[in-house]
Structure 1
Amino acid sequence: MSQLVNLTPHPMHLYPVGTPDRVDPATVTAIAVIPPSPEHRTVRFGQRDLGPDPADIGYPVHRVALGVSDTDNTVLPEPCTDTWYIVSTLVALAHPDRADLLMPYGTIRDLDGSTIGATGFARAARPDGDHR
């Protein structure tokens, strides 16, 4: 059986397929809750502010570098047989070469619009068309 490792900072609540995208959490029970991994650091997609951008649109525009920053960790664990890593959508999209990354799919929000879970997972499409 495959192992799921949650590299996000919060528990991953999975809800039944067909759950409406907005619910009162008191009325729907998660079918699984996957806690953050106690053995791995949270993997975040970092950004570093490089300062103001010269674009003149009437509002501030900043130039940012996406990826590793001084405060965020985008270093993924090495692939491991029969192990899937749950990461944010941004991290998964930044690493389409990694066939072992899962991102939440079928977002479920509470009545205030805050994300509370998902109905499953997705994998980022690989640029070479390989769908391992």
Structure 2
Amino acid sequence: MVVKTRPHPIRIYSANTSELATGDQLPAGVIAEILPSGQMARLAAEGADAGQVVEVDVPLVPVPASRYGDLEHLPEPAPEPWYAVPRLTTLAAAGREDRLRPQEQVHNAQGTVVGCRAFGTIGPL
């Protein structure tokens, strides 16, 4: 069993779905959908100040420094279930074999991620 720890579902596409799925391939390629569980495993975010200002294609854009705290709301490791978590949470929990992150993403014609074809883990760093 996979427990989804974010507020949106994860759609799992068949392995033969292309990275850029369009038209009929979007609904037809879905082989499973994992709905949100209501749990919200994540890293605590600390306030960020404006940081440095850099010159980019638009004039003077602030670049705030993100700071993250402790991992929140991820239960202790157990043989079951698996937890589908964001990539940053997966990195913070490196070495835990019970958390998964979406991998091999599928995008729609506008470039928005609509699902994945696999899950991945991150071993000990």
Give the match for residue 130 of structure 1: none
Q: Any conservation in 2 of the 1:49–1:62 contact (CA below 8 Å)? A: no
SS of alignment partner, residue 60 of structure 1: strand
Cα distance in 1, alignment partners of residues 94 and 109 from structure 2? 33
- Out of 49, 52, 55, the residue aligned to residue 50 of structure 2 is 52
Q: TM-score scaled by structure 1? A: 0.77
Distance 2:88 2:106 in 1: 18
Q: Tell me if structure 1 keeps the 8 A contact 2:104–2:118.
A: yes
Q: Residues 60 and 126 of structure 1: is their aligned pair in 2 closer, same or farther, counting only changes over 3 Å?
A: same
How many positions carry a matched residue from both structures? 118
Identity of aligned residues (%): 27
Counterpart CA distance in 2 for 1:56 and 1:34 is 40
* Structure 2 counterpart SS, 1:18: coil
Q: Deviations over 1:48-104 (max 9, x none)?
A: 333132x45333222331135xxxx83211222232111111110111032111000
TM-score, normalised on structure 2?
0.81
Please identify which structure carries the higher strand content. Answer: 2
Q: Which runs of 5+ in 1 are unaligned?
A: 128-132
Q: 1:93 to 1:25 in 2, by over 3 A?
A: farther
Closer/same/farther in 2, CA of residues 52 and 85 from structure 1, 3 Å limit: same
Match of 2:36 in 1: 36
Superposition CA RMSD, Å: 2.0
Please say if residues 45 and 67 of structure 1, whose CA atoms lie closer than 8 Å, have aligned partners that are also in contact: yes
Task: Give the unaligned 5+ runs of structure 2.
Answer: 56-60
Deviation at 1:46, TM superposition (A): 4.1
